[in-house]
Amino acid sequence: MARAKYIEKGASTGSLNSSLRLAGPATVKLLVGPDGQEFLVPRKLLVSCHYFRQRIDTARLEFEKGQASLVMTLEDQCPDMFELFTYWLNERRNLDRFIDTAEIDHSCKELHWDLVNLHLFAAQIDIPALQDCAMDAIQDVYLRCNWDISPKLINYVYTSCDPQESCRLRKWIVAMTAWTLGGVVTTEMNNNIQRLFDQFPDFSAEYHSHTRKMAKSGLESHFKNPQLRLPSNNLRNEERQFGFRQCSFHTHRSTVGQGRCPHTTPLSPLLAPSPFTDGYIESDSDRGESRFGSRMVSPSSDAIPESNLETP
């Protein structure tokens, strides 16, 4: 499709530009990635995000076939990740449909990285609810594919990601590392993780802090599976050793208390996101339970080909 012609600013078009901006084209065209893949997003949805609302006035105005549109460029973002973002922005639902498709297409590894980058993008543009949705999907992909923690993911997060933006992802990585090392792992996997401990002091410190907390609580890391999101925040019985409560790696964890996770039902499209709050993985009062064992996988995992069962 031919690119729309951009109207240059000038005395003859200034008043027209101003009036159109005030009226506001109904759709915003976003050009994502180095090749400028086009995404058309309703303006009212896009400006529900504070990050884009702040930048909408600086979007350039284009005309194509007599229709005005606002155009924004995101050259440093991945189009596949942005597809997940636009879906969530429109639907405010979980990303199960993308995981189902990835299983069929044997593309779980690719989706895994898109979800990681979606989580980080959501942190950058300050949408905590989307961070939590992406975190849930990451857990689900690992669970369905029966993956151990990925040394590549550890290296990426601790090398290339802002510590604040990736803090929830780091906490999940640490818990996954403890669970992985507590099970049956290859010598190569063990050596890779030990090298990462040496390479990243923060990773090592966070890991040992987590294992100390687990030991103090009388729980064993090789049983407590961070891929399992438990449906209740306040159950207490012997099953608590098998998984983490559903909000353990969410941004709202400190404010939700023992209440129901707000993300168990679809969100209103214009619902303001919950505030960004901090907190560690678990305390004794907010553990949940699972009816499943520590190496439980999704019932659909039998359909996953062997190539998808490798660590991403």
pLDDT confidence of residue 6 = 28
- Beta partners for residue 41, in sequence order: 28
Quote the CA–CA distance of 195 and 120 in Å, as a whole number: 25
Give the DSSP letter of residue 39: E
pLDDT in tens, the chain (312 residues): 333 332 233 333 443 443 344 456 888 999 999 999 999 999 999 999 999 999 988 899 888 777 788 999 999 999 999 999 999 999 989 999 999 999 999 999 999 999 999 999 999 999 999 999 999 999 999 999 999 999 999 999 999 999 999 999 999 999 999 999 987 788 999 999 999 999 999 999 999 999 998 888 877 777 788 888 876 655 565 666 777 878 889 887 656 655 667 666 544 333 333 332 333 333 333 332 222 233 332 223 322 233 333 457
pTM score of the predicted model = 0.75
pLDDT confidence of residue 232 = 62
Distance of CA 75 to the CA centre of its chain: 20
- At 43, which amino acid appears? R
Quote the CA–CA distance of 201 and 189 in Å, as a whole number: 19
Structure tokens belonging to residue 212? 């100390």
Q: Which domains does the chain have, with CATH numbers?
A: 5-74 (3.30.710.10), 79-309 (no CATH)
Q: Return all residues near 288 (Cβ < 8 A) that are at least 6 apart.
A: 230, 231, 232, 233, 234, 235, 240, 243, 244, 245, 246
Quote the CA–CA distance of 28 and 253 in Å, as a whole number: 34
Structure tokens belonging to residue 106? 């044997």
Question: Contact at 8 Å (CB) between 226 and 172?
Answer: yes
Question: Contact at 8 Å (CB) between 274 and 128?
Answer: yes
